């Protein structure tokens, strides 16, 4: 066994586990293997990657959370229609504010009581630091420090700028964490008044788990916080998350029982493990989500819509579905136009090399051009074969593309610079509304994940109107309107809607699908 683990590079992972001399100890520790781990312990820091969502979800509290439902196949899922208490035990929605009553027995990991002053400071921080956290809260009209009021030690109010259906749901996403404000302020500096450098590497929360140790690029260990009061005390006492870049190694570990969970499986492994039946495979299509090609419309030649359409007709969609997705995704190409207000929905594009060549010639590039396809190495098991297939297909229409592999820890920062010409990426809207996805991914006014630098005032007007429209029929027409523009201008080329797949031992229970694509360890157990 030791030789096997050494060959897999996982001896160190299992060595970090506490001595488990009896069955009860094994039932209280979970070993999870992932392709790419977190680059920050604080989601408010610049460039915090998707793996950080899971860290803050388990180590920090928010005022509210979501309920749970059971899908038709028996899988547990969050329920976006049910808002539940977390740090706030109750709330009252008024015409101009939401008033939250905080739990009086909640404490941070160092034992300091949680007060409304901590909530106020944390909320001030998230709407002030800029970038992703600030824009996320703006999606729910939570925008200014003046909106946040300390009524008393255990009463906190959010003043409403406008009636917005997303205000309360947006308080249940990973961003509005409540930090130990006094601890962070002690470690802040004039150059870093919000203490971001401190919290990037240090736990300052009061959630169900606390950070026991973190070795960036290798391993994160969480220990249960026995003083947690915002929900039932978790059954798992320790979580070990080990980074194992090789998909084959992750698969071998879970198949042999040396790992409890392999999270975010490559589609081929998910398909084969599900068929073999030795371990449980749980897969859910990620809501409001697409894998897509992004073309930077501010860079030549992608500022030309005919070039973008040519690329859309050159993408080898079915080859990607067959050789990369293995049935663990929903095709998002070959549609018949905008048929409904559903999102995502298939674009009208499909592989047509001759049409792509003709469009390139019309655009003034009969002999093609050179470009660079940037991919996230943190998800290389998907991004790299997709890039290779697209590279080959582009070659057929004269476009010579080289592949630029960016480390997973640097990907978020790289795409947010918005200077990459051609990217393969996935974006998922946390709140399951079409206008929310487009607000994040297409809006021209500094939308964080509008990595295409796309600007169209007509698109923006439709998105803005849809966000606050209460009439269902009018809302659906607005959605259809901005989807049509997306297909016409095609700055983003949809390929497929991805499944979030996880393989786990049959003794692992309570796994729940979440919109943020991270594991909530709190309801999980073993045995």
- The 10s digit of each residue's pLDDT in 14-66 is 444 444 434 446 789 999 999 989 999 999 999 899 899 999 999 999 999 99
pLDDT at 25: 65
Query: Alpha-carbon distance 490 to 293, whole Å?
Result: 10
If phi > 0 it is left, if psi is from -120 to 50 it is alpha, else beta; for residue 184 that is alpha
Query: Alpha-carbon distance 304 to 292, whole Å?
Result: 19
- Token pair for 413: 């920062």
- Residues 60, 177 contacting (CB under 8 angstroms): yes
- Residues 369, 301 contacting (CB under 8 angstroms): yes
Closest residue by Cα to residue 136 from 93, 173, 94? 173
Strand-pair partners of 493: 293
Residue 6 pLDDT exceeds 80:
no
Residue 8 pLDDT exceeds 50:
no
Residue 488 pLDDT exceeds 80:
yes
pLDDT at 11: 52
pLDDT at 16: 42
pLDDT at 27: 81
pLDDT at 17: 43
- What are 196-244's pLDDT values in tens digits? 999 999 999 999 999 999 999 999 999 999 999 999 999 999 999 999 9
Query: What does DSSP assign to residue 103?
Result: P
Residue 1 pLDDT exceeds 50:
no
Percent of the chain with pLDDT over 70: 95
Map 415-457 to HEC letters: HHCCCCCEEEEEEECCCCCHHHHHHHHCCCCCCCCCCCCCCCH
User: Where does residue 133 rank: exposed (0-12), middle (13-18), buried (19+ CB within 10 A)?
Assistant: buried
Domains along the chain? 1-34+208-278 (3.40.190.10), 40-207 (3.90.76.10), 289-498 (3.10.105.10)
User: Where does residue 273 rank: exposed (0-12), middle (13-18), buried (19+ CB within 10 A)?
Assistant: buried
pLDDT at 409: 86
Average pLDDT, the chain: 93
Residue 497 pLDDT exceeds 50:
yes
Q: Per mean pLDDT, which range of 323-337, 398-412, 440-454, 506-520 is the poorest?
A: 440-454
- What are 307-318's pLDDT values in tens digits? 999 999 999 999
pLDDT at 22: 42
- What are 418-454's pLDDT values in tens digits? 999 999 999 999 999 999 999 999 999 867 899 999 9
Query: Alpha-carbon distance 285 to 501, whole Å?
Result: 9
Strand-pair partners of 29: 238
Percent of the chain with pLDDT over 90: 89
Average pLDDT over residues 94-98: 95
Helices assigned H by DSSP within 30-115: 51-59
Instruction: Tell me the pTM.
Output: 0.86
Query: At 483, phi and psi to the nearest 5?
Result: -70, -40
């Amino acid at each position: 066994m030791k030789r096997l683990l050494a060959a897999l590079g996982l001896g160190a992972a299992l060595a970090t586990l506490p001595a488990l001399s009896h069955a009860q100890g094994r039932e209280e520790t979970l070993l999870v293997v992932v392709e790419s781990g977190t680059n920050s312990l604080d989601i408010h820091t610049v460039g915090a990657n998707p793996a950080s969502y899971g860290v803050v979800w388990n180590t920090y509290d928010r005022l509210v959370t979501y309920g749970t439902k059971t899908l038709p196949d028996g899988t547990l899922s969050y329920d976006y229609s049910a808002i539940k208490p977390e740090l706030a035990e109750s709330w009252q929605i008024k015409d101009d504010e939401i008033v939250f009553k905080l739990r009086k027995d909640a404490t941070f990991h160092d034992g300091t009581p949680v007060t409304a002053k901590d909530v106020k400071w944390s909320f001030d921080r998230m709407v002030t630091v800029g970038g992703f956290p600030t824009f996320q809260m703006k999606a729910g009209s939570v925008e200014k420090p003046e909106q946040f009021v300390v009524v008393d030690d255990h009463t906190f109010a959010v003043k409403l700028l406008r009636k917005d259906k997303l205000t309360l749901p947006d308080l249940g996403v990973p961003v509005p964490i409540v930090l130990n404000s006094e601890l962070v302020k002690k470690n802040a500096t004039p150059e870093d008044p919000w203490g971001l450098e401190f919290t990037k590497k240090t736990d300052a929360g009061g959630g169900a788990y606390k950070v026991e140790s973190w070795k960036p690029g290798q391993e994160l260990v969480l220990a249960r916080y026995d003083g947690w009061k915002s929900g039932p005390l978790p059954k798992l006492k320790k979580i070990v998350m080990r980074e194992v870049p090789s998909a084959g190694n992750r698969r071998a570990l879970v198949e042999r029982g040396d790992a409890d969970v392999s999270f975010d499986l490559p589609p081929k492994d998910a398909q084969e493990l599900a068929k073999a039946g030795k371990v449980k495979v749980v897969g859910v299509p990620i809501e409001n989500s697409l894998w897509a090609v992004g073309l930077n419309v501010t860079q030549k030649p992608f500022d030309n819509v005919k070039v973008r359409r040519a690329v859309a007709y050159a993408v080898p969609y079915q080859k990607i579905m067959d050789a990369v997705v293995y049935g663990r995704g929903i095709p998002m190409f070959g549609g018949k136009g905008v048929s409904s207000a559903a999102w995502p929905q298939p674009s009208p594009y499909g592989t047509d090399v001759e049409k792509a060549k003709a469009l390139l010639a019309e655009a003034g590039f009969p002999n093609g051009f050179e470009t660079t396809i940037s991919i996230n190495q943190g998800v290389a098991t998907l991004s790299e074969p997709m890039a290779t297939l697209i590279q080959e297909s582009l070659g057929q229409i004269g476009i010579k593309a080289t592949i630029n592999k960016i480390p997973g820890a640097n990907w978020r920062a790289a795409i947010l610079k918005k200077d990459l010409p051609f990217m393969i990426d996935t974006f998922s809207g946390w709140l399951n509304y079409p206008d929310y996805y487009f607000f994040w991914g297409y809006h021209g006014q500094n939308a964080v994940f509008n990595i295409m630098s796309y600007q169209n005032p007509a698109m923006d007007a439709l998105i803005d109107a849809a966000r606050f429209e209460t009439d269902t029929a009018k809302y659906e027409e607005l959605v259809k309107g901005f989807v049509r523009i997306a297909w016409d201008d095609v700055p983003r080329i949809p390929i497929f809607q991805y499944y979030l797949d996880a393989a786990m031992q049959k003794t692992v229970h309570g796994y729940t699908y979440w919109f943020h694509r991270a594991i909530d360890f709190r309801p999980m157990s073993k045995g």
